[in-house]
Amino acid sequence: MFTGIIESLGTIRRVVPQGDGKMLQVGCDLDLSDTCIGDSIAVNGACLTAVHLEKHAFAVDMAPETVARTTFKTAAPGMRVNVERAMQLSSRVDGHLVSGHIDGTGVITRMEKKSNALIFTIAVDPHLAGQMIEKGSVAVDGISLTINRCTDKDFSVSIIPHTAKVTTIEFKQTGDWVNIETDMIGKYVRKFLTQTTAGGPEKESTDITMTLLAKNGFL
């Protein structure tokens, strides 16, 4: 589990194809002395398992499913990435709950300067847009952000100077693809409010009533 508060800007040093999967070696400025093989590390928001460790570098294996769902299809040496180790429940939990399981990708369609902020508009598939609400949370390349506005095809977020400085947002341009993870709690609520017919596909309820909320344990 992660928070979406990026700890380090890393750099991909090496990419090794493994069939439809890949192995990545990533360098970063974190002291990984207390990290163990088998620990989870989020790279651009994707939860990956450390299989080799150095003091300031680590290697991770990516299964074909991970490659297919993320921007790592085009991963190459020199690519900058956001790095976050798994959260510690003994400290403050900033950001929001991020599983590191990428739901899909989006493309940056617009970047606009507004006072001290950068406004990013990101186009996504409708099934992802349907899981977002204004002022809700979203992880973009693993960065915990608040949704300013959302439609059935895109959403916008504000990036403050500090976030731009300590993450890969600083290097992004219009047309770049990013990893998207929608809010975990929102996905569960959406699931619970979905009606399922026996043996058939899920059918989304068109009316949220007091009866429906009570039936699903929300009252």
Give per-residue pLDDT as tens, 56-102: 999 999 999 999 999 999 999 999 999 999 988 777 777 788 999 99
- The pLDDT assigned to 203 comes to 54
The rounded distance, in Å, linking the Cα atoms of 204 and 196 is: 8
Residue-level pLDDT at 198: 41
pTM of the model: 0.84
pLDDT greater than 50 at residue 197? no
- Percentage of the chain beyond pLDDT 90 is 76
Q: What are phi and psi of 28, to 5 degrees?
A: -155, 175
Per the annotation, the verdict on 40 as an active-site residue is yes
Q: pLDDT of 122-178, one tens digit each?
A: 999 999 999 999 999 999 999 999 999 999 999 999 999 999 999 999 999 999 999
pLDDT band at 218 (very low <50, low <70, confident <90, very high): low
Dist. CA 53–CA 59, nearest whole Å? 7
Concatenated DSSP letters for the chain?
Answer: -B-S---EEEEEEEEEEETTEEEEEEE-SS--TT--TT-EEEETTEEEEEEEEETTEEEEEE-HHHHHHSGGGG--TT-EEEEEEPP-TTS---S--B-----EEEEEEEEEEETTEEEEEEE--HHHHTT--TT-EEEETTEEEEEEEE-SSEEEEEE-HHHHHHSGGGG--TT-EEEEEE-HHHHHHHHHTEEE-TTS-EEE-S---HHHHHHTT--
> Structure tokens of 74?
């085009």
Residue 19 has pLDDT above 60, yes or no: yes
Which residue among 28, 42, 46, 47 is the active-site one?
47
pLDDT of residue 192: 76
Measured between alpha carbons, how far is 171 from 50 in angstroms, rounded to an integer? 26
* Known active-site residue 146: yes
101 tagged catalytic: yes
pLDDT band at 193 (very low <50, low <70, confident <90, very high): confident
Q: What are phi and psi of 203, to 5 degrees?
A: -125, 120
- Given the residues 146, 196, 205, 211, select the one marked as catalytic: 146
| Catalytic residue (one of 35, 40, 99, 109) | 40
Choice among 11, 35, 63, 109 that is catalytic: 63
